[in-house]
Chains A and B, each alone.
Chain A
Amino acid sequence: MGTLSKIILSSIGKKSIMAVSGIMLGLFLLVHALGNCTTFFGREAFNSYASHLHSLGCLILFFEVGLVVIFLTHIVLGCMTWWQNKRARPHSYEVYRSSGGRTMGSKTMPYTGIIILFFLFVHLQNFHFTDHSREISAIVKGVLIQPFYAIFYSIAMLALALHISHGFWSMLQSLGINHPKYNSIMQRGTLSLCVVMVAVFVLIPALTLLWPGFLL
């Protein structure tokens, strides 16, 4: 193996690339959440936001391809570390007890990751690979008014919340950012960002299901 690939595939190398891809996915989520906020201003705001986005043409394609690459990188490295970490302790403990370091989020990273991936397929099927002759607000409403989908979307967003509740802080640590002066603000800041973003994503299926006037 060459020097570069050795460094990339080392434990710290993999985690830093997961962290960088995690930041990019986080930025994507942030933009996505901001865009989705237009639904709260009514059907017209949302439709015009969507059509503006689509009018970007080539740029959209560039971002789509970029996102696929980032997701694949994140997922492949995530699976590698998961597999290696399982192998690092072939004989598990008869009794295991956390000493207080782990959180719900950190414990479940691979599982919440898989739920997000599965959600992604359903999500793209629902809104991307669909008949786009209707306006986007009607498409969204058509899907999320079905209780099954509204609940499925909400559950998937809770999995996302768990994932990034650990992930956003973890990527700072993976990138070597840890200082007693800033640790408390970093922890609270990343958690707040996670809560606000997921709240937006959960509000949309919840409002569609519970409030007939939403996106009308």
Chain B
Amino acid sequence: MSNDKIGLTLKIWRQPCSHSKGKFETFHVNNISSDMSFLEMLDVLNEHLTLGGKQPVAFDHDCREGICGMCGAVVNGQAHGPEKGTTLCQLHMRHFRNGDTLVIEPFRARAFKVERDLVVNRSPLDKIIQAGGYVSVNTGGAPDGNGVPVAQDTAEQAMDAAACIGCGACVAACPNGSAMLFVGAKVSQLVLLPQGYPERAGRALNMVAEMDELGFGNCGNERECEAVCPKSISIRNIARLNREFFKAALFG
């Protein structure tokens, strides 16, 4: 199967800029190696477009190894495509069959403006992070290696939450356009560790307020977010965010 070549029909969202009206455009690509990643397939398309004097399809990407969170589009109705726990850059063309039609759309939410084609502005997620404020870090001499004990299990949970790369697929996949998995992960990674613990009340309240302010929807516990998350982050983090919010609202 390693040097299979496939041909595909691509229906891609084209939109010149954020305030123009977009539409779908259909392309055909042939001789796509099944070893290619999805983004490499788009590179091939873009080479053809450029050689033909046409505008290439704009899409975000950076590391192309699934760790930076820049890439992302909705492929046939699923954020980052059909593979579980995989970013678009790590999705390989062997998961598609010769002759398939792929509909490729940008992540859609009121808070995410389409800048061009598949590129959306995800800076609202950064605004939520900003609203979260600071963490206190003691200066001075280096602390003792094991001076602050953190249980292994707690460290694991913080690490699982910190795996979030902020790609925004949770928002894109949520039927309600909610950012709760993102905020849940960010609040969790800090509240579980001594470094973020003291500021936890303000952080939970402010991040949720900012998230609502920016026009993200209300979580309906539909669980689509954890199903598409390339880092498989659990909605347990949303439950933890809910608890943090109640504690902060009632006693914080």
Chain A positions within 8 Å of B, measured between CB atoms, are 6-7, 10-16, 81, 84-85, 87-102, 106-107, 109, 166, 169-170, 173-180
* B227 touches which of A14, A101, A174, A179 (Cβ 8 Å): A101
- Contact B239–A173 (Cβ < 8 Å): yes
A178 to B132, CA, bound (A): 24
Chain B positions within 8 Å of A92 at CB level = 108
A-B contact pairs, 9 of them (CB 8 A): A11-B208, A12-B242, A15-B219, A16-B242, A89-B177, A99-B228, A101-B173, A101-B226, A176-B242
Are the C-beta atoms of A11 and B243 separated by less than 8 Å?
Answer: no
Minimum CB–CB distance for A108 against chain B, Å: 11
Closest 10 CB pairs of A and B: A97-B77, A101-B223, A88-B177, A88-B217, A178-B239, A176-B243, A85-B176, A99-B227, A176-B242, A101-B224
Which residues of chain B (35-94) have a CB below 8 Å from chain A? 74, 76-79, 84
Q: Determine whether the beta carbon of A81 is less than 8 Å from that of B220.
A: yes
Q: What is the distance, in angstroms, from A91's C-beta to the closest C-beta of chain B?
A: 5
Mark interface residues in B198-239 (1 if CB within 8 Å of A CB, else 0). 000000010011011001111111111111100000011011
B219–A11 CB distance below 8 A: yes
Q: Which chain B positions have C-beta within 8 A of A102?
A: 175, 222-224
A98–B78 alpha-carbon span in the complex (Å): 7
The answer for the CA separation of A97 and B74 in the assembled complex, in Å, is 10
How many chain B residues touch the partner (CB < 8 A)? 51
Known contacts A99-B227, A101-B226; is-contact A88 B238 (Cβ 8 Å): no
With a cutoff of 8 Å between Cβ atoms, the chain B residues found around residue A11 in the complex are 178, 180, 208, 211-212, 216-219
**Residue of A81, A84, A89, A95 with most partner-chain B CB within 10 A:** A89
Residue pair B245, A12 in contact (C-beta under 8 Å): yes
**B208:A10 contact, CB within 8 angstroms:** yes
Q: Which B residues are CB-close (under 8 A) to A107?
A: 175, 222
Indicate which residue in B105, B109, B246 contacts A16 across the interface (CB closer than 8 Å): B246
B193 within 8 A of partner (CB): no
Task: Find out whether the CB atom of B111 lies under 8 angstroms from the CB atom of A88.
Answer: yes
> Does the CB pair B242–A91 fall under 8 Å?
no
Q: How far is the CA of A190 from the CA of B42 in the complex (A)?
A: 46
Instruction: Enumerate chain A residues within 8 angstroms of B220, measured Cβ to Cβ.
Output: 81, 85, 106, 109, 170
Asked if B227 and A100 make an inter-chain contact with CB atoms under 8 angstroms apart, the answer reads: yes
B19 at the A interface (CB under 8 A)? no
> Is residue B240 contacting chain A, with contact meaning CB distance below 8 A?
yes
Q: Is B185 an interface residue when CB atoms closer than 8 A count as contact?
A: no
